[in-house]
């Protein structure tokens, strides 16, 4: 695997930071190396945030933000209107987008990279009754990358959400089934 470096784009309160943290913990539980950390200032809920996730089968020595990611995850598609999500994205990299738009439309927009789409907001509203898309996107991430085994992600969701884990697990499973990978 070497190192998979990802950059997640979302807004405060959408679960962006939680996603990277839980995926990192799942990777570590699985016996591989990982780190996650957010990048934001004193922003409020709803302000743009970035979170970074590295997963590797070898120790990770780098301790900086991810400037040249292998993959970008777009948690809030509205950010695409004001930011270039592909800055630094490696040639042949991957983009996972929470969107209502079709795979074909997103492939045209991001024609230099492998694209996957999932309507994580719809899934979240139907499963956890909130527009918090993180667990759905975690499922799509697992399917798109294969970087972390599903059973370890399930454990982390159960530990983190306790009695609310059921809806979050359902969101993750639905995204695994519904994500469209180009």
How are the residues of the chain apportioned to helix, strand and coil, as percentages rounded to the nearest 5? 40, 25, 35
For residue 181, what pLDDT is reported? Answer: 97
Task: Render pLDDT for 32-63 as a digit per residue (tens, 0 to 9).
Answer: 999 999 886 655 677 889 999 999 999 999 88
Global pTM reads: 0.94
**pLDDT above 90 as % of the chain:** 87
CATH number at residue 115: 3.40.920.10
pLDDT band at 2 (very low <50, low <70, confident <90, very high): confident
Count of structural domains within the chain = 1
Mean pLDDT in the chain? Answer: 94
3-class secondary structure, 85: coil
Q: Which residues form the domain of 80?
A: 3-181
* pLDDT at residue 79 tops 80: yes
């Amino acid at each position: 695997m070497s190192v998979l470096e990802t950059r997640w784009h979302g807004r405060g309160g959408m679960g962006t930071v939680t996603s990277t943290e839980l995926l990192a913990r799942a990777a570590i539980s699985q016996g591989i190396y990982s780190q996650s950390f957010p990048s934001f200032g004193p922003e409020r809920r709803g302000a743009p945030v970035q979170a970074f996730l590295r997963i590797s089968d070898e120790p990770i020595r780098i301790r900086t933000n991810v400037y040249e990611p292998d993959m970008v995850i777009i948690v809030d598609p509205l950010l695409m209107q004001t930011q270039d999500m592909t800055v630094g994205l490696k040639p042949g990299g991957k983009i996972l987008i929470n969107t209502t738009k079709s795979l074909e439309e997103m492939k045209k927009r991001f024609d230099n990279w492998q694209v996957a789409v999932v309507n994580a907001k719809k899934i979240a509203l139907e499963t956890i009754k909130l527009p918090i898309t993180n667990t759905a996107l975690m499922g799509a991430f697992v399917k798109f990358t294969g970087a972390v085994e599903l059973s370890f992600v399930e454990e982390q969701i159960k530990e983190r959400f306790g009695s609310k884990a059921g809806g979050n697990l359902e969101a993750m499973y639905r995204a695994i089934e519904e994500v469209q990978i180009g």
